[in-house]
Amino acid sequence: MLTLYVKDGCPFCAKVLAVGRELGIAFDERNIADPSVAAELVARGGKRQVPYLVDAARDTEMYESDDIARYLREHYAERVV
Ligand SMILES: N[C@@H](CCC(=O)N[C@@H](CS)C(=O)NCC(=O)O)C(=O)O
């Protein structure tokens, strides 16, 4: 399960969501408009910044849209054999 913390109107979030669509990834989206979700994000990552990815399967969490996009392409791109 891939969880993505997002916020409405965030271009960096939109960029990551577009990569997700391209790769066929269905994120569990958590919107920090909800104060309890924002608090959860800060508790997890240490600061209020979106996008923030949680990949529980790989025990990996990260900020920064470019890093997230790179990570998704590296680990979740469909591979044609
Ligand atoms: N360099 C970061 C920039 C992320 C960023 O600036 N996010 C803004 C929203 S667009 C943010 O989290 N602001 C704090 C807030 O809205 O509370 C990235 O590429 O992910």
pTM of structure: 0.96
- Beta-strand ranges (E) seen in 1-81 are 2-6, 28-31, 52-55, 60-63
* pLDDT reading at 81 higher than 90: no
CB 5 less than 6 A from any atom of ligand 1: no
pLDDT grade, residue 80 (50/70/90)?
low
All domains of the chain in start order, with CATH: 2-76 (3.40.30.10)
| Whole-number pLDDT of residue 53 | 98
* Token code pair at residue 24: 């066929």
CB 19 less than 6 A from any atom of ligand 1: no
Mean pLDDT (the chain) is 96
Closest CA to 2 of 34, 66, 11, 23: 23
Site to substitute for ligand 1 among 5, 6, 7, most atoms within 8 A of C-beta: 7
| Whole-number pLDDT of residue 60 | 98
CB 49 less than 6 A from any atom of ligand 1: yes
At 10-52, the pLDDT tens digits run 999 999 999 999 999 999 999 999 999 999 999 999 999 999 9
